[in-house]
A and B are shown apart, each in its own frame.
Chain A
Amino acid sequence: MAATPPPLLQVDHLQVAYRTRRGTVKAVEDASLLLAEGEAVGIVGESGSGKSTVARSLLGLLPRDVGKVVGGHIAIGGRDVTNFGEKDWETIRGNPIAMVFQDPLSFLNPVMRIGKQIAESVKRHDPDANVAHRVEELLDLVKLPASARFAYAHQLSGGMRQRVLLAIALGCRPRLLVADEPTTALDVTTQAEIMALLRDLQKKLHMGLLMISHDLGTIAAACERIYVMYAGRTIEWGPTSRVFGSPAHPYTTGLLKASRADRDENHRFVTIGGNVPNLAEAIVGCPFAPRCDHAFDKCRQAMPDAFMNAPDQLARCWKLQ
């Protein structure tokens, strides 16, 4: 029997700490996820969830000397990258794993025409290719006119810039594309276009997509499976339709209702009371317990294990035991 290929991305109990003036902050306490070839997976979370930190650790982009992986493992395409140094990361970035960010304007060189910037990416990862031809191909792939290659970043709209960023990322022929809040800075109509483009590209190129966002709608539109993060931990995961259709974790339920601007029986907007916990302090028990309507004693004593709510849907909540 042929061995099953390793998952494209595997993160096991990742822990990331930041050194700040106020001491060490554990931005990621326990995050695990799996992504198979060609799969679209989303990480959903709010401020303090640690989702962006997870994304950055996948490419070794944690701020040097300040952020460090202090536990767990990351494997990309079967290769353990947890202890990679800068030189090793250079062999991984772009291919097999590439990233697009939230604000395209800060990530594009303002004095270089975008065609040249895309060409740079191509030359780095595809040394034998016909560069001009490939640039045209990429622009076509992201649905930009060929003439766009002569433009400067500031001459393009937000949506177009994001497409350029995608073209640069795709120039590396990545097997996995990490998109960190790719549409947050864009208008809602442009968001929809870029999301459609991402879905399209992902299917066409059989590319893995890891999308990070605080916007549930965006994640739901693009991802087949999702992970919900809270206070540096993955607390619920499963197929999108399941997690959003029948959320198991009280946080996910609250988040969903708040996103839809649902009202409760008293006609009040559903909200989650309180604030996210202070990550500089160690948390005993479930981090969501202080804000949870269903919390009981066990919740305050120990971090819940993962329990199954449905065949592929798991959540770390004592309620499910």
Chain B
Amino acid sequence: MTVQAKEPLLELINVEKSFNRRGDTPLRAVANVSLSVGHGETVALVGESGSGKSTLGRIALCLMPLDKGEVRLAGKRLSGLSRNELRTARLPMQPIFQDPTSSFNPRRTVHQLLDQALVGTPPVQRVDRAIDLLDRVGLKGGHGLLSRFPHELSGGQRQRLAIARALCMDPKLIIADEPLSGADVSIRGQVLNLLSDLQDSSGVAYLMITHDISIARAFAHRVAVMMKGEIVETGPAAQVLSTPEHPYTRRLVAAVPSLEFDKFA
């Protein structure tokens, strides 16, 4: 997959964010972070708990205001916009969240959830488009599936539904926060292959926030390693995660147990 060498799709420029704590110094969740995602590229944001990666993800989606810095989408500045302007300007960027259980309004059926997301599609075409999208993410079930509620689906099915919903807007960028955390290891590949196919066919870019280094190494083009609110190392994923330079990245990579064993006859 060649990455187009244009201006970046998403740019986070010198982003800072602190949280006030009662009776304590403010917590610097994100400290002067700059990160970019190119068109059709997959960037993995890797870090442990408390690194600030989820906060950065929310700031990138403009769901959380930043203290300093800028968020730009396709060259257009998002971070200073008014509520109304932001609502339309942000549309090419869609989220997939970590917890498939709270990702959906429990009172809405699959049909209603997708219908709500298909704002750009004329109402008459929405059912067909919804079924098409469900099919694309591997959820066979057609009309029967449309009348189910999210809590009636399995965890893996909900994760695919989340992807389907994100696709409703024909996004250029999907920001996924731990998209594989709900699924068993043996079926992770299904979701990864799906995401890979979607990228090949539609050129969508991914910002994947994860703590799992093996996924980042195998799936992402580039990786940014975050520690205590700062990005300590960036670069091509395979390179950085096989031959890391920064001491923290080294510790992180060394901590992942190896699954390479000598074959026996």
Q: CA separation between A294 and B219, bound complex, in Å?
A: 28
- How far is the CB of A307 from the nearest CB of chain B, in Å? 16
Contact between B185 and A244, CB atoms less than 8 A apart:
no
Question: Given A242-B264, A244-B261, A261–B255 Cβ distance below 8 Å?
Answer: no
Partner pick for B213 among A47, A188, A220, A269, CB 8 A cutoff: A188
> At the interface, yes or no: B86 with Cβ under 8 Å from chain A?
no
Q: CA separation between A241 and B263, bound complex, in Å?
A: 9
Partner pick for B263 among A47, A214, A246, CB 8 A cutoff: A246
Contact between B193 and A217, CB atoms less than 8 A apart:
no
> At the interface, yes or no: A83 with Cβ under 8 Å from chain B?
no
> At the interface, yes or no: B215 with Cβ under 8 Å from chain A?
yes
> At the interface, yes or no: B109 with Cβ under 8 Å from chain A?
no
Chain B residues near A273 (CB, 8 Å)? 190
Contact between A261 and B251, CB atoms less than 8 A apart:
no
Chain B residues near A192 (CB, 8 Å)? 254-255, 257
- How far is the CB of B155 from the nearest CB of chain A, in Å? 8
> At the interface, yes or no: B84 with Cβ under 8 Å from chain A?
no
Q: CA separation between A191 and B186, bound complex, in Å?
A: 21
Interface magnitude class on chain B = 35 or more
Q: Interface on chain B toward A: helix, strand, loop, or mixed SS?
A: helix
Complex interface residues of chain B between 173 and 188 (CB less than 8 A to chain A): 184-188
Question: Given A46-B186, A47-B184, A271-B190, A256–B263 Cβ distance below 8 Å?
Answer: no
Question: Given A241-B261, A261-B219, A271-B193, A217–B256 Cβ distance below 8 Å?
Answer: yes
Contact between A261 and B214, CB atoms less than 8 A apart:
yes
Chain B residues near A214 (CB, 8 Å)? 184-185
Question: Given A187-B49, A258-B185, A269–B264 Cβ distance below 8 Å?
Answer: no
Question: Given A188-B252, A272-B186, A217–B49 Cβ distance below 8 Å?
Answer: no
Closest to B188 in A: A258
Q: CA separation between A245 and B265, bound complex, in Å?
A: 10
Question: Given A244-B261, A271-B193, A255–B186 Cβ distance below 8 Å?
Answer: yes
**Cβ contacts A185-198/B at 8 Å (1 or 0 each):** 00111011001000
**Cβ contacts B156-174/A at 8 Å (1 or 0 each):** 1000000000000000000
Complex interface residues of chain B between 241 and 265 (CB less than 8 A to chain A): 251-252, 254-265
Contact between B186 and A189, CB atoms less than 8 A apart:
no
Q: List 11 interface pairs A-B (beta carbons < 8 Å), by A numbering.
A: A187-B49, A188-B252, A188-B255, A188-B256, A189-B251, A220-B258, A255-B185, A260-B260, A270-B189, A271-B186, A271-B192
Q: A218-B257, A245-B264, A259-B259 are in contact. List 9 more A-B contacts (CB 8 A).
A: A188-B256, A189-B252, A191-B255, A214-B185, A216-B185, A241-B261, A246-B265, A261-B188, A269-B192
Residues of B within 8 A of A (CB): 48-49, 154, 156, 184-190, 192-193, 196, 211, 213-215, 217-219, 251-252, 254-265
